[in-house]
Amino acid sequence: MTADSVLVRPAERVERRSLPRPAGRWLLFAAWGALIALPMVATVLYSLATVWRNKAFPDGYTLRWWADTLREPRVVDALVRSVALAVATVAIVATITLPPLYWAYVRNPRLRTIMQVSALLPFALPFVVLAYGMKNLAQSTGATRPLEASFLLLLAGHVALSFPFFLWPVDSALAAAGVRQLHEAAETAGAGPVTTLFRVVLPNIRTGLLTGSMLCFATSFGEYSIAKVITGSSFETLPVWQVAALADTRGNPNGVAVMAVFTFLVMFAVSTVIAVAGRGEVASIVPGATGPALRRR
């Protein structure tokens, strides 16, 4: 027995004893699960409650709130507007992100740096400040004044806000797929950049595309501040309706809970579809991805 082993073994025993036991890990996981699940359970109960007084559970349950809310024209219109706005946001963000990001991997790495820095800007500015800045900028000239409270300005704000949530998963997927080798192989076979992007690169980054699209859609769908400042009730989205219903004494708080649960179910279904389509692949949604294309640099 050497002196080094004598010095190391006590430290190893202390380290092993400090590790949590399986029961402790399960208790920690159960506490975390309860913390996440309790607000959703309370929302579901409130959407089904007839009356909820000072008790742990409602006095009774009914589906009337679901039927009335999903039939209310104002709610349906707000839902359609939110879905249309979110779909348009995903389409525009994908269009302005994919080509330059792909080109950054195969030709000009500086483009990727610029895009990564630009993706941090929405987090440096509060959403309300961003909305008021865009609105004041639209008021500054006669040519842009008609856009001051328009759908196009609202769409531009959602694109700027959702851009990072699409960029990072797609960037990680491109790095993991080794897009530069794919480009070189396709170029050797005689394919041009556009053909390579659509027929070679996109099928290999399917999981990143789906993840980025879902995050982009969810960000736009649930955004309140920009929609309230720029268009308000003239283009009422679902979050704007929910806040208005809570603020109005004659509003429908149970309906707000109904739409919160409905939105959660829709997003859960979309996430399930993405998980199945991705065949169990995990897409990174944070910047700083590593992959073959990046390690060579």
Domain of 197, CATH number, reads 1.10.3720.10
Quote the CA–CA distance of 90 and 80 in Å, as a whole number: 15
Residue 4: CB atoms within 10 A of its CB come to 8
Which has more pLDDT, 50 or 165? 165
Q: Is residue 153 part of a domain?
A: yes
User: pLDDT by residue (tens digit) across 204-237?
Assistant: 888 889 889 999 999 999 899 899 999 888 889 9
Same domain membership, residue 122 and residue 44: no
Backbone angles phi, psi at 61, to 5 degrees: -130, 145
- Residues 6 or more apart whose CB falls under 8 angstroms from that of 71 comprise none
Same domain membership, residue 47 and residue 193: no
| Residues 119 and 108 sit within 8 Å (Cβ to Cβ) | no
Same domain membership, residue 189 and residue 95: yes
Amino acid of residue 214: M
Same domain membership, residue 184 and residue 56: no
How many distinct structural domains can be found in the chain? 2
Q: Is residue 145 part of a domain?
A: yes
Which has more pLDDT, 273 or 112? 112
Same domain membership, residue 204 and residue 79: yes
Same domain membership, residue 69 and residue 184: yes
Backbone angles phi, psi at 49, to 5 degrees: -80, 135
Query: 142 pLDDT exceeds 70?
Result: yes
Same domain membership, residue 184 and residue 40: no
Same domain membership, residue 149 and residue 43: no
Same domain membership, residue 74 and residue 35: no
Q: Is residue 276 part of a domain?
A: yes
Q: Is residue 257 part of a domain?
A: yes
Quote the CA–CA distance of 108 and 103 in Å, as a whole number: 6
Is residue 94 very low, low, confident or very high in pLDDT (cuts 50, 70, 90)? very high
Same domain membership, residue 186 and residue 94: yes
Query: 129 pLDDT exceeds 90?
Result: no
Q: What is the mean pLDDT of residues 270-290?
A: 63
pTM, two decimal places:
0.79
Quote the CA–CA distance of 156 and 207 in Å, as a whole number: 26
Same domain membership, residue 68 and residue 51: no
Same domain membership, residue 228 and residue 163: yes
Among 52, 110, 241, 86, smallest CA distance to 165 is for: 86
Q: Is residue 6 part of a domain?
A: no
Residue 84: CB atoms within 10 A of its CB come to 13
Domain end point (choices 28, 62, 96): 62
CA distances from 171 to 1, 30, 72, 116, 206 (A): 52, 34, 41, 9, 12
Quote the CA–CA distance of 170 and 168 in Å, as a whole number: 5
Q: Is residue 12 part of a domain?
A: no
pLDDT of residue 291: 47
Query: What is the chain's mean pLDDT, rounded?
Result: 82
Domain containing residue 141:
64-295
